[in-house]
Structure 1
Amino acid sequence: MAKAARAAQAWRAYREVARPGSPGIGARLRAIPRLLSGVMNGTYPGMGKGRLAMMGLGVLYMLSPVDVIPEFLLLAGVVDDFGVFLWLMTSLLGESGRYVDWERRRIPATLS
């Protein structure tokens, strides 16, 4: 992923979190376990198990000693892991924000 594309992705994630009325970063991070549970047991319709599997593969890629670009190539080897990390974090923050919004819309409906 090019440097400009990573910067644009990080900027979009920041704008989403900073948008007025949008769930804050703390609410999004606290929602991640509930989001994962909701996807796994099928109660959250906003994200499929395939996307969750892709995120899991991203985590495995970052933890794996086997890389597309090995770390001994110094900067290039770290950049690929950082690109995966940035994609994973923006995906998780975006999806957890949508999950919090979904919860907020759903809770009043269950109270009435």
Structure 2
Amino acid sequence: MKLNREKILGFFKKSQSKASVILSDKTKASNTIKDALGKAVSNKGDLEGVWSKLVLLFAVSKDYVNGDYTEIPKRSIIAILGGLVYFLSPIDVIPDFVPVLGFVDDIYILNLVYRQVLKDLEKYKTWKDAQVKFIGNIDGPTAT
């Protein structure tokens, strides 16, 4: 099956425009992330190839919206949220209800977003790892 990349990218551009609007409302942004996460968990088997990338995209977008991590450029967070908006849409280039093929275009977009923001995600992972270590030091036993 050949993907119509231009059509997919056109849908994605619309998703990024929606993401830009959603991002201005913290509640809408949080709900979008939560809804996309629910859909991802429900379809984890179909998303196996991009699961770890998707988890990272969810984490950075959640931390951004919550105000915990704001070091990512706005264009990157809009691309990530745009990817999640695209993923959430049941009617895109290949509707999600089409057996086996329904998530092919979603996976294409999620991989595209991941590659676009990879450097920002690496910085985020470094920050997140430091947070985990810091919290572990606070909560862990102290040596005397």
TM-score by length of 1: 0.42
Higher relative contact order (Cα pairs below 8 Å, separated by 6+ residues): 1
TM-score by length of 2: 0.35
